[in-house]
Amino acid sequence: MKIGIVCYPTYGGSGIVATELGLELARKGHHVHFISYALPTRLNTFQDNVFFHDVEIPNYPLFEFHLYTLALVGKIIDVVKYEKIDILHVHYAIPHAVSGYLANQILQKDYSLKLVTTLHGTDITLLGLEPGFHPIIKFSLEHSDRITAVSSFLREKTIQHFNTGKEIDVIPNFVNTSLYNRFAQPGLKKNIAPNDEKIFIHISNFRTVKRVCDVIKVFNEVNKQIPSKLLLVGDGPDRIPAENLARELGIQNHIKFLGKQTSLVELLSVSDVFLLPSQSESFGLSALEAMSCGVPVIGSNIGGIPEVVEHNETGFVAELGDVKRMAKYALELLQNSKKWHIFSSNARKRAVELFDTNLIVPKYETLYNELLNS
Ligand code: GMT
């Protein structure tokens, strides 16, 4: 099949999922055309059958705000027509589903394009609640040929908020468990924890919803009892408040603000606990990647996190903001090596058995085939 994938190129999860999906589809022989305003973060290796189309945004003095949505429509039309695209798969409803719909309407008289929209979270749980966006998102969902959501939580939220009457398939995010596999790194571990301290890690785009300051508060509680180190990977609006809090608590020497990193497997492979205390999280892809590397996850029991982390098996979930309980869970794991090893292998097992790329990507292929045969 010839598949067009529209996504954000940024560090966030939806762009990562879209890119990994496209790469795997290309490895299976499909032709995959990525359309975005920049090269997606993870599209950093050559893969046969993968093509990238850059959306140029016209700079006209009259326009105070760039017209990305419309520029995207034009690029989609161009790519669909000349690359003979069968399926257009857009990731994140705003503005991609709208651009896809408009392009489809313009092409309709001489081209039948199938439109798939995958919802990733904040397009529904945050933007979807904006009165100005609600009718647009509802309309573009109703005019998608198929809709998928990355978790049951997000599917229920979408039905609750939009009630489109259209079926929503749940196709969870996935991880390449062959790539995200723990491997010993004595040198790196010694460098980070010279006195064999325990290592915590958090990976995100440091947006407010991630509650990075809670990560530091949990770490601070544990560090009082067990000498530990904390790796903070990523960057965003809450990095400075987090750095300030670390200094206020006097624990800045135990914390490494690494910023954005691309090689996550090395860092995950030396980590003992992954922290994800988000206040909004429709799936939590970073938690799944950690589990695949055998890292137990401690997070908040909100959104899709409980669908990824199995409480008291592969980690723990606690009430939003309950940093004391999260710290208690972490101590339970770190003070009992046998328990930690059980949780670590459970986490890996769950990733392999439920969320591996080879299990999930075929679900998208089945959906595409159903559309083309309908
Ligand atoms: O998590 C973010 O802030 C980025 C956001 C995005 O739109 O890329 O991630 C969303 O999509 C990811 C991939 O499906 C999910 O794993 C994240 O849980 C989801 N984020 C939220 O719902 C806040």
Contact between residue 207 and residue 237 where contact means Cβ atoms under 8 Å apart? yes
Apex CA 16: angle with CA 18 and CA 263, to 5°? Answer: 145
Whether 92 lines ligand 1, by a CB cut-off of 6 Å, is: yes
What phi, psi does 282 have (nearest 5°)?
A: -75, -20
Strand partners, 203: 233
How close is the Cα of 67 to the center of ligand 1, in Å?
24
How close is the Cα of 177 to the center of ligand 1, in Å?
20
Whether 150 lines ligand 1, by a CB cut-off of 6 Å, is: yes
Please state, for a pLDDT cut of 70, what percent of the chain lies above it: 100
* Torsional class of 59: left (φ above 0), alpha (ψ -120 to 50), beta (otherwise): beta
Whether 280 lines ligand 1, by a CB cut-off of 6 Å, is: yes
Atom of ligand 1 nearest to the CA of 16: 13
Closest CA to 97 of 73, 78, 63, 77: 73
Whether 282 lines ligand 1, by a CB cut-off of 6 Å, is: yes
The average pLDDT across 301-305 equals 98
For 237-246, the CB contacts below 8 A with 24+ separation are 237/206, 237/207, 237/208, 238/206, 238/207, 238/208, 238/210, 238/212, 238/213, 239/206, 239/212, 241/212, 241/213, 242/206, 242/212, 242/213, 242/215, 242/216, 245/213, 245/216, 245/217, 246/216
Whether 13 lines ligand 1, by a CB cut-off of 6 Å, is: yes
The Cα–Cα gap between 326 and 319 comes to: 9
How close is the Cα of 285 to the center of ligand 1, in Å?
7
The Cα–Cα gap between 242 and 252 comes to: 10
Q: What is the pLDDT of residue 10?
A: 86
Q: Whole-model pTM?
A: 0.96
How close is the Cα of 18 to the center of ligand 1, in Å?
12
Contact between residue 169 and residue 149 where contact means Cβ atoms under 8 Å apart? yes
Cα distance between the two ends of the chain: 15
What phi, psi does 86 have (nearest 5°)?
A: -90, -45
Q: Is the pLDDT of residue 63 over 90?
A: no
Give Cα separations from 192 to 170, 198, 211, 230 (angstroms).
Answer: 39, 10, 24, 9
Q: What is the pLDDT of residue 221?
A: 98
Closest CA to 21 of 36, 5, 37, 40: 5
Q: What is the pLDDT of residue 113?
A: 92
Which residues have CB under 8 Å from 17's CB, separation 6+?
91, 118, 120, 150, 173, 174, 285
Q: What is the pLDDT of residue 369?
A: 97
The Cα–Cα gap between 113 and 33 comes to: 14
Q: Is the pLDDT of residue 242 over 90?
A: yes
Domain 186-355 has CATH 2.130.10.10: no
Q: Is the pLDDT of residue 66 over 90?
A: no
Whether 219 lines ligand 1, by a CB cut-off of 6 Å, is: no
Atom of ligand 1 nearest to the CA of 304: 18
How close is the Cα of 288 to the center of ligand 1, in Å?
12
Whether 283 lines ligand 1, by a CB cut-off of 6 Å, is: yes
The side-by-side arrangement of strands in the sheet containing 114-119 is 50-54, 31-36, 2-6, 87-91, 114-119, 146-149, 168-170
Atom of ligand 1 nearest to the CA of 278: 23
How close is the Cα of 26 to the center of ligand 1, in Å?
24
The alpha carbon of residue 200 and the mean position of all alpha carbons in its chain are separated, in whole angstroms, by 20
Q: Is the pLDDT of residue 356 over 90?
A: yes
Whether 35 lines ligand 1, by a CB cut-off of 6 Å, is: no
How close is the Cα of 72 to the center of ligand 1, in Å?
22
Domain with CATH 3.40.50.2000 in the chain: 2-174+356-373, 186-355
Q: Is the pLDDT of residue 110 over 90?
A: no
The average pLDDT across 283-311 equals 98
Whether 158 lines ligand 1, by a CB cut-off of 6 Å, is: no
Q: Is the pLDDT of residue 52 over 90?
A: yes
Q: Is the pLDDT of residue 220 over 90?
A: yes
The average pLDDT across 350-360 equals 98
Residue 84 pLDDT level (bands cut at 50, 70, 90): very high
How close is the Cα of 92 to the center of ligand 1, in Å?
9
Over its C-alpha atoms, the chain yields an Rg (Å, rounded) of: 21
The average pLDDT across 148-163 equals 96
Instruction: State the CATH class of domain 2-174+356-373.
Output: alpha beta
The Cα–Cα gap between 360 and 302 comes to: 23
